[in-house]
A and B are shown apart, each in its own frame.
Chain A
Amino acid sequence: VTAPASKVSLGYDSVLSGVNPDLASERLTASFSVEKLTARLDGGAEHTRMRRAIVEAIESDPAFSRENQYFQSQNERYEAAVRRAVHLQKKMREMGWTENGPEIKYIYRWLSGDIAFLLHRVFMRSISVLGSDKQVAKWIPLATEHQIIGSYAQTELGHGTYLQGLETTAVFDIATQEFLLNTPKISAMKWWPGDMGRSATHTVVFAQLYVHGKCYGVHPFIVQIRSLQDHSPRPGVTVGDIGPKMNFEHTDNGYLMLQNVRVPRENMLSRFCEVQPDGTYVRWGSQKINYFTMTTVRISILSDEVILPLMKACTIAIRYSAVRRQSKLKPGEQEAKILDYQTQQQKLLPQLAAAYAFHFINIYLHELFDRGYQEIQGRNFDSLPELHAFSSGFKAMVTQYCTSGVEICLRACGGHGYSLLSGLPSLYTRVLASCIYEGENTVLFLQTARFLIKCFMAASAGQPIPPSVTYLSSAKPGKCPAKDKLDFLSPDVYLKFFQFSRLLSSSAAKLQHLIQSGAEKHEAWNQCTVQLVKAAQAHCHYITVKIFVETVEKLDNKAGIQKVMKHLCDLFALHGIFSNAGDFLYDGYLSGAQMDLVTASYLDLLAVIRMDAVPLVDAFDFTDKSLNSALGSYDGQVYQRLYEWAQKSPTNQQVSPAYGKYLKPLLQNRLSKL
């Protein structure tokens, strides 16, 4: 029996030589320049060069190696993350990188968040934004020098997204000019804050402020929780780690219970409001800027925490699908690459298209928010409701889509996807947390829906509405004019599909109907929420397709990039129609026969994009070390890598104590002695 040429013979033990021919052949047929597309994704060849230089500097430093991460226990992961964070400080000084420099985003992107003190950065940001100049001057230098380590304690055991419900209290004591902080009941315990379980010395605690028995709502306080000498908890403080989670094992998410803990009056962050020595509560400036910060955080997580994992998952799954051969498509031929199966293409290629769609929508959102920020600086708050609606809806849609996309990639890799060494389980368990943090998705969709309903009502009453939603007031479309499956590759045709606002208009009608028939407002709202969530999703979907179309139009067609992006854009749109057929067939906008044409056109596109699938993931330009996957490496030497990596598992490095203690007596039939 001789091994087929494409397989690695055992004679090559421990030598990974060259690129697997199955992957090399995929790169020969690329219809576009991978390097040019990478530069486009990075925002220019300059950026690509800088990114690569930084990645090279980090990867060549063994202190940042993540090779063992899949083998480590929670304790070991935590220690490694702290070690890396400490080492990073040293590295940054060596390299002349700074926290505010252009390098920083590439550094953190490469680290994939697998590092301690990320909440320390949030701690610093919250002081910079919410603190008075005096507070900033006092705390920021200490934090920058790591003389203190901070965290950010908002979420409680009993309350998350609904901030007004927080139960921790801060009562002002005029006599001592201090706030008295308390955790009045178990559900009020702070729960989840990162870096707090073991590392932090200080944290920003969000608590209900009471002065003279009156509650002024939730405010932030700087609280020291551990001794700066021996790191033991301060009197009145109970603090610890909340235990193992689905991922983030390197992070010491913590709990915090406060019993009559006193902090000086000056520790309430007071850029916008203050309690004066006599207990007078004053508020100045606009709360709205504060509100703006929260909405920008939702957008800021999308790139690194949400879209990047989907890009990595696509890279791993598509490269592996070009290497994995299984079953025969034609008798007598070699077994086929699984990427050649239509069912495999249908799983993976829409995810690839979505990764590109979200990359572009992310750029758009950042531009939108930068503009919004300028306006707000100029005291113009008009665009705030729209920005808020955007940030909520897109955070929810992109996290939900990417989470399901990564899971599809995981399952598309069969058994090997289930091994941690594939890299996919840890990508999945990380990205799925994003559906919950920074606002639970269902709640966020409903916030967007509330904005849309308002706009819809305003438009019906002839009032002006923001430009992103003017389509809501356009006339109801008649019938779709498309006659041929090629017609569905025209953006003019498919954009009309997504513009349809029936979900919203019928929700609005139903809301009004319920209220008119005597239902209370809140009850009417609750009864419409299932459909309102769908309406908000449809809105975000439409904007995403629209921005993808506009981006493609602006690309220049050198090096074949515009053409391949147009295919992906079409695929993203048609997949959306194919997956929500009922919404488009309803009302007869699309006939059954037209829906068959959509399906045919969609399936044709799969075969077209299949030819560029590997180059399209190569363009994301992940290094093997940043993918950290046995299945997804650039050279496609999947099996050899899997085999060699598995040997390094601790289970193979040491004799299991289970043998002597249990197996041996069992095997030697001395069961009764156990």
Chain B
Amino acid sequence: MLSLGSVGAKSTKPSFVSYVTPEEIKLEKEPPKIEKHPDLLPGEVEFCCANPILKYTQDDMSQRGIFGTLFCTNFRVTFISDEKSQEETTKTFKNKLYGENDIPLMCVDHIYGVYDEKKKLITGGLVKNKYPSKMIIHCKDLRVFQFCLTFTKEEDAKKIFQGIAHHCLEERSLKCVFAFSYSGTPSPEMQRKWETILFDSPEDWTQEMKRTRANCRLVTENENFELSQRLPKYFVIPSALGDLFSYQGKGFPIWCWSHHSGCALFKASLPPVTQEDGDFQKHLDIMLNAVAHNYLYSAKTEDLSESLPTIQDIQQSYNKFKQFFLIENSTDFWLSDVKWFSSLESSGWLDIIRQCLQKAVEVVECLEKDNTNVLITEEEGTDLCCVISSLVQIMLDPYYRTLMGFQSLVQKEWVAGCHAFLDRCNHLHQKDKECHSPVFLLFLECVWQLVQQHSPAFQFSETYLTVLSDSVDVPVFSTFLFNSAHHRESVMKAESPLAQSSPLSCPTVWDWSVQFDSKAQNFFFNPLYSEKVKHEKAVRKAHKPKHQRQLSLPSTAFKPPSKKGFFKDETDSLKKILRVKRLSRWMGSPDSPAATTRGFYESWKQRPLDYHGLLLPCLDGPAVRVWMQRYLRWIPEVHIMGGGSVAVMTKLMELLSQVQDLKRVLEQRDSSQAVKLDHRPYIQHRLLSFGSSGRLSSSFPFAYSRNRSFKPIIPTGLMQSLMVTDSLASQEDEASSFVSLV
């Protein structure tokens, strides 16, 4: 209705095409002016607003857009169109907390201002003086918003710009995070939450030990964080470890998971070795000794900070990588298209993913093939240790490939495991850049690689992973808001409205009903998942999956540990340590990490693939790929109308729902006397009303293209890089200078 030709900063250009001038709009609009306001969430407060603001539409190159009002609240930046929008209401996959024109404050990554055609990064200092004609917001979920501020009153423009910049960029205290103001009513679907094990009670840990048949010791001495504030409230250690208080401040081997053979995976924080530190060496020996005692007296240790990129490397690489997806216009898109592959490579992001998976495979080999205990260490013990230990568990234990299992794993290793989410995600815009790093995202990336390589093995879909990666930056959940269990508890107590009596309760991210209705939640489930026949109800029973694992890898394939009894002589401690040391060297051999596990991978490859058994990723060049759904979902140029994997999946889900309908009908008929209906809510893939339309874009269920005209996207600037320097080009003819297209 109010779409204009090129406007704003470019209005001086002769190419200006406008059907109505801004003044006319004002006049037209003034009389029936109805104040539009966002539907606020409980606890949400509006800070400032400005009208009219032009939001550029990304759908095409032209500088067209929609007029509306821009608001800034304590939760989000939101744009409300003056036009009536039907889209939002008809969406199948709709987030209840924020829509397509909402940006949660935490989700803002960078703000750019365009001053006289020049794009400048906005930092705290720049805000005071001038407001830009155009404001560009890059989001952490890779959306790009462009707002033109020149149509509104100077005062309003200034206010909204400064407001947004202030709330999104300035350092702030944790108290200001919306989660503490949000007072959403607890959802009715609480029972679903229960299925995720939170690992915040001794029982959860005992159960997990029982499930994996671990014989380790549960530590309850840290209930009041007397041992360490960086350690979980409850954790599990090798039973051979003695008095914990004597090792205070030095870090313990914390149990992660036990293999069915009895060997187990441990992680520990380990400060960097200072030269000739006898005391430190002694402590390390004690820890290794305790780990080795866990099973058959064998252990390998791996210092992840030596063999994997640092968290700063990870941060830098991701910063480069994400730039390729924060695309502001079509010209940029096609320009970057030609150098796409080499740009990807230069960011190094995929290589970091490969290295993590590779390391995880190495650890898996130790556990599965050699039946050796493994201790992974790192300075903090809560970054790459979490990545590797979680990946190892996903590869080895099919339980973690179910949705609830996966959520429990994230709780166990990351949330209860004290990953410093607050610092790593930079939720508070701290100036200290050293501690920011997308470590959790890196983990999700690795999982995605596994999901796309072996999708029938996973109950959850890539959409689930994408949504989970977005949810980290939604400041409503307490899950990803703290640096440690101690931090969580102390803040929650202090922020509680009824101080001391009961701690504040924020929803956990696993209560998906806060964000999505049950129909939308169906997208979290992978229609390809090959459920274990007959064993559905026994998924969480301890030994069932283990037998399966053994089936997938017959014991004849791998020699049983020959060391049995060899190192039983416990007095010969020097020899033990030497052996342990030697093994650790070998494991982290830097020359060719791929070669070490190749044999293991190949022998696994030769066996028939059991989706409920051991799962190893392929790490060859073409196998490690870009998470298209997450990174390309907002870029209209790459949306395939009616195509992509979505089309196939839709078709599959349609069929699945038919089969389930039939099954239900049969069951109803079968059991007129005893109604035995399948009550699992999520299996009702009844979301398929959209299927018949058949015109879903490949970005479904995320971006919705308004461009229904079905015009193809024709690449521009094709020849810019493809300069064939060979004499071949001229074999048929003479190649001379630059070639222009069309």
Chains A and B bind each other: no
**Chain A positions near chain B (C-beta within 8 angstroms):** none
**Chain B positions near chain A (C-beta within 8 angstroms):** none
